[in-house]
Structure 1
Amino acid sequence: MADATGYTVDATSTSGHSVFCSSVNSSCELMDLECGKTYTATIVAMGSQCDSPPGPSTDITTAPCPPVLVSKQYMCDNNTAVISWSDASGGLSFHAELAGDGYQDSCRTTNTSCVIHNLPCGLELGVTVQAEGAECNSTPSVFQSLQTAPCAPENVSATLVCSNHSALVSWVGSHSAVEYTVTSTGQDAHTHECHTNTTSCQLSNIHCGETYDVVVTPHSESCAGTPSQVYSFQAGLCPPSNVAISSPCEDTSTVSWSSVAGAEMYIAIAVADDEHSHNCTSSVSTSCQFTDLHCGENYSVTVVTVDRGCWSEPSSAVVMLTGLCPPTNLVGEVACDTNAVTISWDQIQLPGVSYILKYEKLYDALPPLTWMTADTSHTLTDLQCGQRYAFCVAFEDQACHSSYSPPMELSTAPCQPTNFAARVDCGMNHGNFTWFESSGATFYTVEVTGDHGHVASCSSNDTSCAVRLHCGRSYSASLVASTESCNSTEHADIYFDSAPCLPENVLAVMDCYTNVMNVSWSETPGSDNYTAWAISLEGHRTSCNSTYNNCSIQDLRCGHIYEVVVTSSSVHCEIIAGSDYKVQAAPCKPENVTGNLNCGANILRLTWDHTTSQAQNFTVEATSASGVNSICETNEGNCSFLDLSCGQLYTFTVTGHTNVCMSERSYPMEMSMSSERVDRRDELYHQKSFGYLEYRRCSHSLQRPRNLHQWTQLLLQ
């Protein structure tokens, strides 16, 4: 409008609410209008002096007011949501919407409520309502949440719990579920339930051998969700029935029972009154055998079935009585003269008891023998000599037979020895006795009695022994075989003569230089031919003959010890074994003397030929050119010098000697001792000796440089 300086717009609602706006242009905005109202607006032009009258009026209708949610209700049985709200001023229709978790659904109505069907399970949805006007729509209502019913749990499974014969059911949880109900229904329609807010639950008191249908139902705060698929579960097996005991009154008893279909194994348990127990098992049959049961005990026997590693409840118990305990204090006594054995034991304080004595010869294939008696002892007279027997005893009454006692072993008296024989020898004047081995004997004793009263004896654990006799006498000998507790009956005495007496006062003198033994003796009455014998400990024999009371024995082996004995032609000797008179031949001359020098320790070890039959000593002499001497004594074939002077040339000789004679010296051996030990390999050093400067290495030889050039060459090596 011309000359207008500005404009003012006034708007008034039917409820009297007024707002205005002004502008120098041809438009302005009316603020703070109330929703759902119709305003009448007029425009006034303002001039510099006057304002125009209001222009023609016009109606303005504002947007509807937003609805207010009155309720939201979820129908659990059909997954339906019922939403209601308050009427909104200015609204011609309404638009309700459910959205969340990728899901969206809505309804449009002119009423103040609507229903949305077929909602998915397990969703957290937002609910809003918007009023729709002729020109505009209201802002959405305040957001409210709506939760649908939980979805069915998945992967339901059940395992058997061995400890309390229950089932542990587990599953994958449902979103929005706050609780679960597990229901198991048996084939006989009985049920078990458990409730939990976790994803597992234990069903207790389930019936053995039953098959259950297991269902898990989730719950939200307001609804029961969709049940899971049915899971079929087999409860643990029932215990066996018809438990029975065979072989009562024995230490080994068999328990049997009726079969249970599906059993992996059976275990039978026997519990005694003192609570000790025994088990036996079977996986292929419906019986098993208890071993090592205690005698004289009452046992309560039950059987369990094993299924998936779990034991069933025990079966009904049956009572088992084991065999009576055997008699105690079993002892035996052997009558050595008659070879009878008496076995005795303690009495059992029960009426009408009989005892069973069982015995067998050890290491024999024959079966054991038994003897029944009402007494607490029994004597056996038919046992063999020289044998070892095992004895045990049991008893029985009208109902039961006890087990046998632990075996007791006894040896009968040894058998009488056989083939007893005597043999005598000259010189040593021994009586040598032999016999055949006697069964059961551990040692033997020979007793010898001479007609002049001389008594001697010998013992042996072998089949021979010897005694010293008086020469030229008649003797009798008896032989007895023995054990620790018994002697055999004596062997019949044997009679024999000792060896004849030999010439007396025998004297042997060694000639050390010729190694000849000069022997003399006392002559016997009459004229006789004599033989002097030298018998070495190694069996070497040499002799000389004479019609007088002396002769010389040659061909002796050096270093050997000889027994000397003299016989005559008037004496008849089958065996000449030697005598107590011993003489040593001249010592052997040491041969093949060699030396070994340890340079670092400056120790010299000499060795020479020597045999153990040479019972002689040796002296080793070491003599240096400067007169330094050293001696080493030994009875072996070697000797070591530890204190020889370094830088000296020694001559070594070895001499053998006995208590009477000395041998020739060995061939001399020379050896040069090394100088001081050096720390560096082949290091050279100097030593003043014998008026000149010497060069030494650890060596058996001595080398002297001849001139300065040689000294220089050696020092540069």
Structure 2
Amino acid sequence: MPSAAVETSTSMLQAHILFLKCCMYTQTRIDDMICSSEIHSLKHTLSRFQILHEDQSRSKLKNRNAQGRLDCISNSAWVTWDVSEGALGYDVMAREVGGHNTSCTTTSSPCNIPDLKCGTHYDFHVTAVNKHCRSNHSTFELETGPCALTSITAVTQCNSDTILAEWEMKENTPLYLVTAEGHDQTLISCNSSSNSCVLPDISCGMHYSIIVSTSSDKCSSLRSPPKKIKTAPCVPDNVTVEATCEENGAAVTWGRSPVATSYQLTATGKDGHVASCNSSVNNCTLGDLHCGQTYNLSITASGDNCTSKPNTSSFRTVPCEPSGLAVDIDCETHSAMLSWGASEGAVEYFGCARSTDGDALYCDSTVTSCKIEGLGCGDIYNFSVEASNGVCNSSFSAPLWAGAAPCAPTVLNVRMQRIGQAHWAMMSWDNVNCSDVEYLMETTGRIQNNPQTLMQVSSYWLPRAYFEFPIPCSTAYNFTVRSRNSAGASEPSGAFTGVTVPCAPQHVKYTGDSVSAVLSWDASVFAVRYAVYNVSGEARVELCNTTGLSCQMTSFDPNATEVTASNAEGESIPNRDITGPVGARRRRDLQASGIYAHSDNNLEIPKVLNVTVSGVSLYVKWMTVKNATEYTVVIVEKQQTNQPPRMRTVEGHFFNETDLKPWTTYCFRLAAQNTISQSTYSRPMCRITGASQ
């Protein structure tokens, strides 16, 4: 219950506050001097109220039943008391006449006062404390045990599990009891009738207090003062290693030892790299470790004179950045296949393609390749890859710049047209679906199908999808197109293979006269048919059309006659250079026109050894010809004289032609050639194909 003085002061305080509110907020004018006087009175009342409140708080803090007991092994005292209402803490003081003081502070009972002297009378005071005041102290007295045995020594070896205790013997003392108390309140003891005793089964990392007495009464009259000793630190335990990704290091922690004064940590990498750390606390951070390494970790704890055995473990560092990055861009799928070398310790990889405008595309994989999709045609990308061990990511690999170049055209066309006395090739192709694309046409060929007369033509880069240029007659050609834009150039397209319009027949001659004549000429390479025209009128009139090399003519005028050769690509320029009459002679009527106009008898005609038909395939084998480097095989479908022959160049001594028509007669001829000459063609040999399989 509050005292009457407190109740009175409270009432006065409330009255003063009410009047001040009136001074501050009422609309009725009140004299300022009255309000000032009221404020002075309020301060006085508040001061008085505070003093009364502190007196009341002090009156609640009362200590009762303070008492203590001696711990004779550690030479300390355990003090207990009843809890005091309103107390926030307690101060316990032990004071002896000579001035030696020792104390402890706690928030609750009990409290241990350490380091008491033996054989000493102490006054103990217990004081309750809160934020306002301190209570009157409660007192009691204790006398510690007498100091009888002196010169006690205790020794332990590093990493030993025993302590050797020694002392000076007293007369008429048959048995000594040695007791060691650990800081965790565990007890170990031994007894001896001599001046030494070995305490067994001691633990590492302990503070021990050791006394020697003559009986089980620890505070008997014959008792030593406590001897304090530390055992060797225990092997550090509870080791954890956490990677510090940014620093390429590791943060290491372990259990704290109560007796250790320092710790030594050493990390040795598989490549021999060593990182170490000395610390007075139970953690350490290692930095700048080598990437992709397994490090062996050793941690020891050191005390005053001893070092523990090491705790050993291992950990892996951040993976190294992948090397050997290669990029293969597929223009058709707008994707890029990334591949790289494996990174030690990596469990996952992340690929990145960053365009010049900052947009990024990603892929991830557990193997050393992954595909990035969605590339923009014409964009240039910075490709890189990083490795991860599930905790940390490596640095990105060295960047590799590559452009998503457009694909090459897939559809190619060729159209031959005659302009004046020359034939032009119109090369065209489909447009590529990409922005700002240019094209380059490239053509290679063999004029007169002769490997010694080669042709190579290319256009300039141009934005349109066609190109025209004059091309020689009787030429076999390959035609490709490449495309490009700012991201790069494509590979060449698939080749378009064809032949041009044949050249005009050469060495046109006739025998006979104007009434009846035989007109003949040399074969034109790639010609399928030949035509003879009379050009005496406004329009030319066809006199003969044949697949052979001669025509029988009537009413013949050599000055008004021209001869042309033709194939599927068109008709040659006409030849009006006709000579004659000449002596009559029989000419070969060739069914195939793919025979060279010039041959050389320096090379022998190849001798055919074997001709085999299997289904729609024709196999030919011949004897090799001295000085020949390659052979030309001409295959003609006998029933279709308007079809161009199949001409094949072979470096070996056999050839297999497939995809022939079933149940069809094919005739073939064979010639040997080298860089300077060609033999005469062999006589035609014919075979009938079988059924298609």
The reply to whether TM is greater than 0.5 is no
Q: Which has the higher strand share?
A: 1
Q: Which has the higher helix share?
A: 2
Report the TM-score, using the length of structure 2 for normalisation.
0.38
Report the TM-score, using the length of structure 1 for normalisation.
0.37
In terms of Rg, which structure is larger? 1
